[in-house]
Every structure is written in C-alpha cells, then in structure tokens.
Amino acid sequence: MDVHNVNLLISAVNPAQYPKTGYPEIALVGRSNVGKSSLTNVLINRKNYAHTSNQPGKTQTLNFYEVEDSIYFVDVPGYGYARVSKSEREKWGTMIETYLTQRQQLKGVILLIDGRHDLTQDDRQMAEWLDYFDVPRLVVATKMDKISSSKWNKQSSMIHKAIKVDDNDLIMFSAKTKHGKDQIWQWIENQIN
C-alpha cells in the first residue's frame, strides 16, 4: 500500500473508546525499545509520526492510527518495561487481553522481536498466547542492519527453535535500510483482504 494519509485517531484504554468505523485492524506488539515506532514510521512513510511512548509515568494506551481511510494500525504499549509498577503491569495486561481477545476487527498481530538476540520469555509467552487465542501473527525481527547478513540464517533458525513459526510468517526487517517493508505490507494486505 502506498500510504499518503495517516491520522492518530484515538488513544483508548477500554472498548467504549475504540474507533467505531469498522475498518480492519493490525496490532503491533513487542517489548519496549524493540523498534515498534520505527517500524510503524517506515510502514506509513513518515519520519517521526509514531514516537516512543514507553517512558515511565506516561499513560499506557492503545493508539489507533488510521491509514488511508481503510485500516488501523494499533500500537500496543511495549511489554517488559522494568520500571513500571506491578499495578501498572496488571492494568496493561487487562487492557491488552481485552483488546486482543475480543476485538472483531482485529485481523492480525505483528509481533516484533529484537533480531540481534534470543527471544525473551515475554516474547515467547506473547507468541504462545496469540496462538492460544488463534490470532494470526507475523513475527518481525527488527534491527537486522546491526548484524552482518552472514548471520541472518543463524538468527532465523534460533527464532524457529524458540517459537512455532512458518517461513511466511517471519520477516527480517531493518528500519534503517527498509529491508522487509514490502513483505510486511504484503502480509498485512493478505490479512485484511
């Protein structure tokens, strides 16, 4: 999709606040600092539209970006942020679970993992949890420009060992080179059509 129009439509914490237009939704999840804002900006051809919202003390909300009047990207606040309190983590859990398990318009979830490292326990749990609820998921390994391409295969096998994932549902990505951008859009279009 060639994106021209994007609006941050709404920040929501509960279903009453979700958008009501009925467009298909693709959610992006991953731990803080994994590169979620950077991926979103690449997908929507913007330099700095989505920005990191994971600073401690900031309200954790679901952010709905309306793209080309036809789809929403739903930015889910990052998990595994060490400095948030237990009660904040519980609120986060309830908000995410409600959205991911009950939202009819949700067509797929992009799970971002840091391509340079092994998956964290949170990453594996999120992957298993999405499977349990039958939510289609794409795994995107981020920051791949930071490792040499000779090591990409090794990283990819490591991911395959850690979680169940088809080759079609795993994409190596770099926000710097934009490697993987077209494949990710292709996956999104397959989910929403």
Write out the residues near ligand GDP by the rule CB under 6 A.
30, 32-38, 52, 54, 78, 142-143, 145-146, 174-176
Minimal distance, residue 175 CB to ligand GDP, in Å: 3
Q: Residue 62: which of 107, 97, 23, 21 has the closest Cα?
A: 97
Dist CA 35 CA 38 (whole Å)? 5
Residue 69 vs 145, nearer CB to ligand GDP: 145
Q: How far is the CB of 39 from ligand GDP (least distance, A)?
A: 7
Output the smallest distance, CB 48 to ligand GDP, in A.
Answer: 10
Q: Is the dihedral of CA 6, 8, 13, 18 positive or negative?
A: negative
Please, what is the minimum distance in Å from the beta carbon of residue 109 to ligand GDP?
15
Contact 152, 144 (CB under 8 A): yes
Nearer to ligand GDP, 38 or 191 (CB): 38
Nearer to ligand GDP, 142 or 191 (CB): 142
Query: C-beta of 32: minimal distance to ligand GDP in Å?
Result: 5
- Edge-to-edge strand list for the sheet holding 25-30: 6-12, 62-67, 71-75, 25-30, 106-114, 137-142, 170-172
- For 35, other C-beta atoms within 10 Å of its C-beta total 24
Local structure of 166: helix, strand or coil: coil
How many CA within 13 A on the CB side of residue 9?
22
* Cβ nearer to ligand GDP, comparing 47 with 164: 47
Nearer to ligand GDP, 60 or 142 (CB): 142
Alpha-carbon distance of 63 to 131, in angstroms, equals 23
